[in-house]
Amino acid sequence: MLADALGRPLRFRITAGQAHDITAARPLLEGQSADAILADKVYDSNDLRERIAQLKAQAVIPSKRNRKIVIPHDTELYKQRNRIERCFNRLKHFRRFATRYDRRTIHFNGFVHLAALMIWLR
C-alpha cells in the first residue's frame, strides 16, 4: 500500500499470499512524485533504491542486517513511517478488511476501495 504524508491510502496492490511485499513496490511508485519514500527494512533492495532515485526522491529505508555495506538513512524522517501503520489500523476497523472474508480478489479489491474512500472522507 502507498499512503500520503497524512496516512491516507493512495494506492494498493493485492498480491498472492506467498508473494513477497517488495514485488508490488515498483508498480505502486509508477507515476508518483515525492520528496522522500519511507519504507521498512523489507523493502531494502538496490533495485527499489534505483527506482526511488529515478523519481528524484530520497530513499528512507533502513539497511537489512545482512547488507555488506550499510546505507545510512534519516532516522528523524523515518519516524514518520508510522503513518502507514496508522493507515492499516484504520482499514482494520472494517471487519471485512481485517478478516478478509471475501474469497475472490475482485470482491476484496472493491471493498478496499470503499474502505479507503471512507477514510478519505473522515
Is pLDDT of 17 > 80? Answer: no
- pLDDT score recorded for residue 76: 93
Residue 49 has pLDDT above 80, yes or no: yes
- Averaged pLDDT of the chain: 89
Pair 40, 32: CB distance under 8 Å: no
What is the C-alpha to C-alpha distance for residues 114 and 75, in angstroms, rounded to an integer? 34
Q: Are 55 and 37 in contact (CB under 8 A)?
A: yes
Place of cell 532516522: 75
505502486: which residue's cell?
28
pTM of the predicted model as reported, rounded to 2 decimal places: 0.80
Domain boundaries, the chain: 2-121
**2-121 is classed in which CATH architecture?**
2-Layer Sandwich (3.30)
Positive/negative CA dihedral, 9, 15, 18, 21: negative
pLDDT digits (tens, 9 = 90+) for 51-89: 999 999 999 999 999 999 999 999 999 999 999 899 988
Strand-pairing partners, residue 58, are 36
Cβ atoms 21, 42 nearer than 8 A = yes
Mean pLDDT of 33-38: 92
Which pLDDT score is estimated for 97? Answer: 84
Q: How is residue 71 written as a grid cell?
A: 546505507
Give backbone dihedrals phi and psi of 109, rounded to 5 degrees, phi first: -60, -45
